[in-house]
Structure 1
């Protein structure tokens, strides 16, 4: 017999018992009760009462009850409200859902009193539909979706929203806040509208995606889109000046200009700019790391190269790292300024002239300017005048006009004039040819500067009457420019030096000195020996360098095989000493040998201890002094004097990727990683921050980030961002398409271990 037939049979039996004379009955039934879908537990469905006969004391314990339902359900129960009034309410299970459950339930309610009288009635429960908001499904239902897009990726789909409406109505999607980079379609597909640019766009976007049904009910999910920086921008120069002026004759090493540039890709991307001069220039060098341009070679404005064109154009090349990355160029001009570094010169220094005694005052004797010149290029450095008319006859002759070099008679020369009885028939005059511009160099024979006496030449003349002897330097032993170095007093024969002597250039001068009277001459050879002094500083290569030290490097190791090589023109290779003057915090570094060699290696002297807090800095800047203390100086040296050279080293300590560091810093996408090294365990290259110790593997295809609730991560590259859709129509990129390794380990604290990306 079917279930329905059984129910009917049982129903007739109950009616039979009621018909036996009992007056027990269920009031207000049969009836229909209404309840809205998704109502909570104990929601009221219907209220009914029980009517007892006068002879019956009460309703039997446990009654009334629901003995059957059609269709079957345990969603309803009966609870007493008073002794004879009862309520039909909802239970906790199952939840009434209009879309998944029947809309009508017939509940058979059975009651019995203590006299065993019974009644059975039916309550029909109708489920009423309620409009519900849309539901977001998948990962977005419980957490934000994290998406990474490589800078430069073109327009394309990046994510498909999964949402449904319980009433199976069509949904519409919207995006807030509004963005010119992202849109969402009516089907819930999030897309980029154009190519992303890390340097111009925001680096992160928090997109709220809202699904709305036809009655306006809404549900919102969150998508976080991060733009990943790549090396796609060329560096640019930041200095505004392109023309610089320097005086000639600057010492090698003199700083001319500091070239500065920036890389737009610096933020969140390791970038080290390298500078060069292309093509190389013999007169200037540039520090490849700092961009400082220095004089590399003596520049003589009077040289033929610069006389007409005193400008040097340099093409400055800057390139970011890694090698083969982005580059830029600019042209600067360095103007060589003339200085007054040459004294006037004369083609002839001795002149002879006769003048009749009848000559009137103002009669011309010599026009000296026609015989003199100045090698300096520009005025007033190449301008000079004539001063200091002296000697026998200086009261009879004069320069007119003053400074012109034109020698004329100044008075009557007639011997018969009684006023001229003291006049002689021969006079010797001296005129100084001197620069107008500071420092007022004088001609080769006369100088206004303090001079050092080195000896004296003396000659005799037996002819009578004695007319006087004049001394002059007329030749030298092949030493160019000797007349700019030595001077002889034309009357006394005292020899002096008027310029600085350089032992490293010339150790000996052989001069020819001439003594002459009015008719005859005699010559003598004079040898001048230059004594050596310690006036040269040690020069070491390289004079600046950047190094990296693994944190667990063994004590006594030569760091990166680095050594410096020094030379000094006036010191023995065994006279050098090396010491670190500053920056050697906790004395981790030393040089070996510390003295007695022209080469020394950089050695790790003590281990690093960051775990216990002994060491806190990850970058060291060492300043090294090198002295030529002349340990082997001999008695032939004129003086023992210490000169000092300097070397600057930048050292970064590389954290060990397999060792936990005492840091709580979390690595963010915009952390600047300013160094790189190789993991000794895996052999893979990784990048590190020298201040925080944060690290990441150098491969930047996948980036991860640790959060309290790890979001779902998608990485969109330019190769996968255009128009992808799964066959099921969701458009959700697969892990393989998104560039995510399905076997990649769970994300870890980046401050403890390198993370992928």
Structure 2
């Protein structure tokens, strides 16, 4: 389909332009099989179009073939003449490949006119000569071991390309005549004699020819190599068998050269291998050259060589590593002794401790017990000692007899002698030990003689006892003092100090620490005069010989290190806004104590939080008890005061000056107390809070009764009175339980909360609807007038008695400010009211509040008051509800 499409396209192009023709095409041509590259197959020419436009470069060309092949291409002969030739890229084989090829030849000129024609190529058969296959075609090498019996050596094989069935026989011939070989007609090569490698001929070159039935032939070359066999023993050629060598030869030194030869291989470099079969640690042999070398140290004076200096070895020679011919020989080495070891000693440094009163003539050291010479034979192993030398040693030490190596004491070693101190009581004696035979090796022996002192003086402190003072505010690691002990003995040994007893407290097992080297006494932790004012320590000094102790007394100096502690430490107070200046706020008292200050040393001051200085303490100094007073009026209406909740930080300073100290050196301690004070606004006071749109809050406060804690007299008559009191208490508890579950209403509850006249004063725009809501009370305080406990809301100021169901004590009912209004209310003659300041004070003790929400207009519908900035107004209820 692809070929047809191409033909249609080409025909269309030809029909559109003027004619361009391939001359001598289509055609059929023959080519012989296996033709070499460039063989001409067919010649043709191109007839140009009327425009005479030349053929485009690269055309004509073979664009396709059937079957596909790259065996053909088009060559240019002249401008319009061309020929098809073979490429040699593919083998044209008549017997195995396709025999007919259809080549599509395409031509195109420069104006685009094209033509396409078919060339049919037939492959013709050619008679071919026989061929040797594989490596045999190029020639091969054959190997025959010497001594092999005559017989077949190799079978040659060739084939005829024309004989696909392999039925036609081929004939083989040996072209180069030889007495040692012959060739059979079927290609078998035979040897006719037994080969000897040592006889001379070790390689033969043969030419073999093969022919087919047509007389065509081919040839190849064979090289027959004779392999030498190992059949002779190697022979040693070195005549020497005994070798005398000195000891201490360095490793690698050649001490013998063993040579041998192989009769099988005299004309070539010998490949003999040498080895030592005897197990030894001293010699090795080069396996290729036969040279014997020293492998390890030859020490005539140690191990087995000291007893027997003769070493016997067996040397083996082989002509190949495995399975070859071998021979053996015995050789002997005699090791001679030399003076290679200097006289030596087990050690060359000696330290001798001699008592300072040691007697003269005492033998200090015998060097013969430590020195020796390792050489095995005389005179190499003989040595002697030289005269002692060294600073200060000639007059104190000597060998007796001379050169014997015995060192004796002849001088004075008294440690306290000033002349001995010049040498530090340490003497250095140098003695040389040397050989008596060349090369006269020498070694120095150093003898250090130390004088051992005796303990003649005790270890004593420089004082019989010590007394130190330290302030109780001193921090840890403070230096207290130092003890010192001395010993008159020389040399001065280091003294170590330690605390043997004392210096402990209930909180710390060790209050003090002493430097073990210097004797400096330090604090481990802070001390407290109020806990322990004096410590008694036992300090011990120790050196290598003596121990001594001394008593150390440490006095703790009192300091003002305790802060004032006040009760209460924090407190909450609530005061009315109109409290009189100079009033003790809720009878509050501050009581302070200090372990190291007098009650008259306290000074009180108020730090942050006392805005406009409304509060003060009296007295402000000179007492450990003080009261909180109101120092100035609150002015919220004039805008001077804006804070309702005060948080005061009170400083209590003990201006304590210890006796005998300057004021600048006195220590001052300050304690703190936190007071929270809430100012309770007057019922008619307007408190501006964060506005809420269109809501006006009216706070109605109701006074409610609540009894205070009443006290049952404990000191009453015995027996009956105690029982009667207990019965009365049970009756009261019963009444309280009944009152809680059965609250009563009074006629006053029916009275309106706000009168009409009061509504008119409130601009008549808003009708207040009162809603009773529960209030959360988050604090407690004591009323400064009645002393009763009441609860309050810190945000709204609402208050109530802590327990409203218990009747007030009789002593409070007798109060004219409370009893008269109460009676009037009980009789229904009017509300319970107080007058003047007492009225204001009582009205501030409210127990609950009503919140009036949702202002209404004059028509009774929800609306907005003319004042569009609603405020929260606190008012006291004009009536006191007795039942709530």
TM-score (ref. length: structure 1): 0.32
Q: Which gives a bigger RCO, structure 1 or 2 (Cα 8 Å, sep 6+)?
A: 1
Structure of larger gyration radius: 2
User: Which protein is richer in helix relative to its size?
Assistant: 2
